[in-house]
């Protein structure tokens, strides 16, 4: 879906209603604006609170000492891998 829009003297643009609906943008929604070559990219920004619970399946449970040991092993493994394959 493409539409021609006009930039105001203040440098503002309006996102057409069909696109706002498509991406769930409402008053107060936040977006990321970035440049890629000769394009301006506008992407919906995730609301931080909407991410609540998204990592629940990745949660590490158990005694603190066990979690620390797992972290130390992961760091050691990552460092060993980095030295095997330096960039």
- State pLDDT tens for residues 5-60: 999 999 999 999 999 999 999 998 889 899 999 999 999 887 666 666 767 777 77
Residue 3 inside a domain? The answer is: no
Q: Is 38 helix (H, G, I), strand (E, B) or coil?
A: coil
Read off the pTM: 0.51
Max CA separation in the chain (angstroms): 60
Residue 52 inside a domain? The answer is: no
Residue 22 inside a domain? The answer is: no
Please tell me the total count of domains within the chain.
1
Residue 9 inside a domain? The answer is: no
Q: Is the pLDDT of residue 77 over 60?
A: yes
> How would you class 42 by CB atoms within 10 Å of its CB: exposed for 0-12, middle for 13-18, buried for 19 or more?
middle
Tell me the residue range of the domain where 63 lies: 57-84
CA separation, residue 19 to residues 22, 29, 47, 70 (Å): 5, 13, 18, 45
CA neighbor of 4 nearest in space, from 25, 21, 23, 19 = 19
pLDDT top residue among 64 and 49? 64
Do 47 and 32 form a contact (C-beta atoms < 8 A)? no
Residue 18 inside a domain? The answer is: no
């Amino acid at each position: 879906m493409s539409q021609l829009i006009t930039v105001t003297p203040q440098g503002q643009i309006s996102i057409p209603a069909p696109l706002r609906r498509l991406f769930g943008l409402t008053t107060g929604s936040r977006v990321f604006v970035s440049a890629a070559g000769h394009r301006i990219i506008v992407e919906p920004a995730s609301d931080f609170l909407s991410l609540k619970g998204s990592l629940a399946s990745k949660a590490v449970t158990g005694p603190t000492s066990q979690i620390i040991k797992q972290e130390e092993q992961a760091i050691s493994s990552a460092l060993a891998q980095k030295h095997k394959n330096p960039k």
